[in-house]
Amino acid sequence: MSLLLKNVLAIDGQIDLHEVLDIRIKDDLIAEVGKGLSEDGCEVRDLSGCIATPGFVDIHVHLREPGYEYKEDIESGTRAAAHGGMVAVCSMPNTNPVTDSASVIEFILRRSREAGHCRVLPSGACTKGLKGEILAEMGDMARHGAVAFTDDGRGVQDASMMRRVMEYASQFDCPVMSHCQDESLVGAGQINEGKVSTLLGLAGWPAQGEEIQISRDIELCRLTGCQYHVQHVTTARGMELIRQAKANGLPVTCEVTPHHLFLDETDIDDSYNTFLKVNPPLRSKEDASALIDAVVDGTVDALVTDHAPHADFEKDLEFEEAPFGMTGIETSLALYITNLIKPGVITWERLVELLAINPRKILHQPPVMLKPGYPADITITDPDIVWTVTKEEFESKSCNSGFIGCELTGRARDVYVGGIATLLDGAVTELGKGVDA
């Protein structure tokens, strides 16, 4: 028995596809794509008004397992990912124990096979314990399934250590993904350094704290030839450095998050909403607008969430005491549709590039196309549904989103991973649990 997705607007710039047609899924593969396909012997889903694209991938997600299961675990984090329209996520290594050895990589992959609602591509730490002092067991991790290396949550402070990280990662054909942050400049910074930090009496965090490391790492990339990816870029100048590096032909890519695109420091006010406390911080309006320009002009390679769940009791503290981070994986697609697609800032083709094509390229994953013979990893989006973000909506264990109360347009309706429905009519399926087995 095969499944027929009927009357869906299929969009995939890789094969110049943009038309309403039918997609037949047989087992784990796309079997046929065309107009008026026969319904004989098929389960049929009429998806008129919906959009089918290669499945979306978020390459910056904190799943928190092992160690912080009270915030999130692999089951709940991937459940949230499916709810947000993702077929795969790249997990970050700031777990407990830190994902700095093959045994933790194996644990994450095993838990994902048992309980995951999407594919999980684990990243490993660059340095042991994320301390920046001793190289992590990068080769062993790569052999056991790590797809990239990052000390996310921190920057590698020492330039010679970063050089070694890049040299090792190149040997294993893995990208280094970097959270750029010079701790000597950032110090105890709470929010972007500027008028808002002064008005609110919060310690400031200068843009240069990020830009200096981007600049250093671009030079180390020139030295080592390593594939280098800048995580959650937040400043206009940082983006300009990346634009120049790309123009120079360096193997540099970058990502931005919805919160750095669609929020800015002026959203933080004297209510001291700790959900808006993120690392790196929300920057100026001008910075946010420069990031959108970079999404439009092709400088940005991937849209990611940095989904960073924290429990209520942790966020319900004084601003200085609360941890950095906001959740995002269940609102990102709707935020892109609402703020980028609907106003005509970017096309669906560009969104597919940012959410499906480039993320796989960055992590050296095989491409997914809406074409016979390719894996049936497909996101079906209802682009017109209007909904309001509430805490009750979330599948994540945590609800520290900066977008609660926002009215958004568009959201994932169905998601298929290897032909298995992980999301149907907006509801996460139990059938999809362990989909990556």
Amino acid at 54: P
DSSP state of 317: S
Nearest to 99 by CA among 141, 144, 48: 141
Question: Is residue 281 reached through a cis peptide bond, with omega within 30 degrees of 0 on the bond before it?
Answer: no
Minimum CB distance to ligand DOR, residue 81 (Å): 16
Q: Which is nearer to ligand DOR, 192 or 279 (CB)?
A: 279
Site for ligand DOR in 201-230 (CB under 6 A): none
Tell me if 179 contacts ligand DOR by CB under 6 A.
Answer: yes
Minimum CB distance to ligand DOR, residue 3 (Å): 37
Q: Among 15-23, 201-209, 319-327, 356-364, which window interacts with ligand DOR (CB under 6 A)?
A: 319-327
Contact 425, 414 (CB under 8 A): yes
Among 306, 377, 382, 414, the active-site one is 306
Q: Residue 102 pairs with which residues in a beta bridge?
A: none
Q: Which is nearer to ligand DOR, 22 or 65 (CB)?
A: 65
**Phi and psi torsions of 20, nearest 5°:** -80, 125
Give the torsion through C-alpha atoms of 141, 146, 152, 153, to 10 deg: -70
Minimum CB distance to ligand DOR, residue 205 (Å): 12
CA distance 70 to 96: 12
Q: Is 140 a catalytic residue?
A: no
Minimum CB distance to ligand DOR, residue 373 (Å): 38
Nearest to 305 by CA among 394, 433, 205, 434: 394
Q: Which is nearer to ligand DOR, 129 or 426 (CB)?
A: 129
* Torsion over CA: 307, 313, 317, 320 (sign): negative
Tell me if 278 contacts ligand DOR by CB under 6 A.
Answer: yes
Structure tokens at 91: 């997990």
Q: Among 21-29, 37-45, 111-119, 321-329, which window interacts with ligand DOR (CB under 6 A)?
A: 321-329
Tell me if 325 contacts ligand DOR by CB under 6 A.
Answer: yes
Site string for ligand DOR, 89-128 (x = CB under 6 A): -----x----------------------------------
Q: Which residue has the tokens 């990816």?
A: 229
Tell me if 306 contacts ligand DOR by CB under 6 A.
Answer: yes
Q: Which of 74, 308, 337, 428 binds ligand DOR (CB under 6 A)?
A: 308
Q: Which is nearer to ligand DOR, 58 or 377 (CB)?
A: 58
Q: DSSP secondary structure string, 108-141?
A: HHHHHHHH-SSEEEEEE-SBGGG-SSSB--HHHH
Minimum CB distance to ligand DOR, residue 306 (Å): 6
Q: Which is nearer to ligand DOR, 319 or 324 (CB)?
A: 324
Minimum CB distance to ligand DOR, residue 71 (Å): 8
Contact 409, 89 (CB under 8 A): no
Give CA separation, 270 vs 201, 202, 261, 273, in Å: 10, 11, 22, 8
Minimum CB distance to ligand DOR, residue 308 (Å): 4
Contact 262, 288 (CB under 8 A): yes
Minimum CB distance to ligand DOR, residue 17 (Å): 36
Q: Which of 324, 339, 372, 409 binds ligand DOR (CB under 6 A)?
A: 324
Site for ligand DOR in 145-164 (CB under 6 A): 152-153
User: If you count them, how many residues does the chain have?
Assistant: 437
Q: Which is nearer to ligand DOR, 263 or 378 (CB)?
A: 263
Question: Is residue 66 reached through a cis peptide bond, with omega within 30 degrees of 0 on the bond before it?
Answer: yes
Q: Among 99-107, 158-166, 320-328, 400-408, which window interacts with ligand DOR (CB under 6 A)?
A: 320-328
Minimum CB distance to ligand DOR, residue 99 (Å): 12
Strands annotated E in 105-221: 119-124, 148-149, 176-178, 191-192, 204-205
Contact 25, 31 (CB under 8 A): yes
CA distance 236 to 179: 16
Tell me if 263 contacts ligand DOR by CB under 6 A.
Answer: no
Tell me if 70 contacts ligand DOR by CB under 6 A.
Answer: no
- Nearest-5° angle of CA 19, CA 22, CA 24? 140
- Residue facing ligand DOR at closest CB distance: 325
Q: Which is nearer to ligand DOR, 100 or 414 (CB)?
A: 100
Tell me if 62 contacts ligand DOR by CB under 6 A.
Answer: yes
Q: Residue 122 pairs with which residues in a beta bridge?
A: 91
- Provide CB contacts within 8 A for 271, sequence distance 6+: none
Using CB under 6 A as the binding criterion, the count of chain residues that bind ligand DOR stands at 12
Tell me if 191 contacts ligand DOR by CB under 6 A.
Answer: no
Q: Which residues are catalytic?
A: 306
Under the rule (CB under 6 A), what is the footprint of ligand DOR? Answer: 62, 94, 152-153, 179, 278-279, 306, 308, 323-325
